[in-house]
Structure 1
Amino acid sequence: MKFLSYAYRFASNFVFLALVYYSLNSMDKYNQRAVIAIMVLVYAAMRAASALRSFFFFQRIERLEVEARRLQVAAGEGHSANSQRRLIVTEVSDLRHAGEMKSYIDLLFLALIVLLCVSKLVSD
């Protein structure tokens, strides 16, 4: 299921990249192309800020994972409680890693979109 979510994220970002490429290439006048490119750049900047903010969130989750593992060792409770906590920490770690990978995919495509828009703005 994790790889399916990566594939979906990749496909949706690729469709967005293709849509931007097609819209910028279909405009004949420079003014129209510039307006679309600037609007896409503003949207890409907002999504990039959101993706970068999520990395801060993932960093906080990672600190909580380390603290939970440390407390788990220090508590030394029964085996069933220990294994249940270990399972929860492992699941949170996997979800954090998947979220980071999705943010990396988003940032990759946003960088490609920014390069495309800047190249269309600079070229005549």
Structure 2
Amino acid sequence: MPTNSDIAKLLLRLTLGGLMLFHGVHKVIHGIGGVKSMVTNSGLPEFIAYGVYIGEIIAPIFIILGLYARVASLVMGINMLMAIFLAYGFSLSLSKYGGLAIESPLLFLIMSILLFLLGSGKYGVNSK
């Protein structure tokens, strides 16, 4: 019989992976020129920008499936740390709507940490 925690883990996986996948598909369609600019402006090598495809396409698919979800969530968490660093510089400034400017990537980071700690649950391919 399914438990509430297994259903919650499934919902977390589907939400985290599904929402991030939209960002990745956008980058596949429109390219990663903006990411490349941010990476090189920070003094990092340009090839690092291509990691966004791993963090926003491959990792979310693994998360949705529950296939090595802990590893995939770690990859996505690192991706979100880089996004926060590159796009916002870890600033705690407010947006024009009153929330933190880093709110979206911060939520993805926290969800990645939660999934890493909880595992994929009963409904994942690996079921851990």
Tell me which interval the TM-score lies in, with the shorter structure as reference length: 0.3 to 0.5
Q: Which has the higher helix share?
A: 1
Normalising by structure 1, what TM-score? 0.36
Normalising by structure 2, what TM-score? 0.36
Q: Who wins on radius of gyration, i.e. which is larger? A: 1
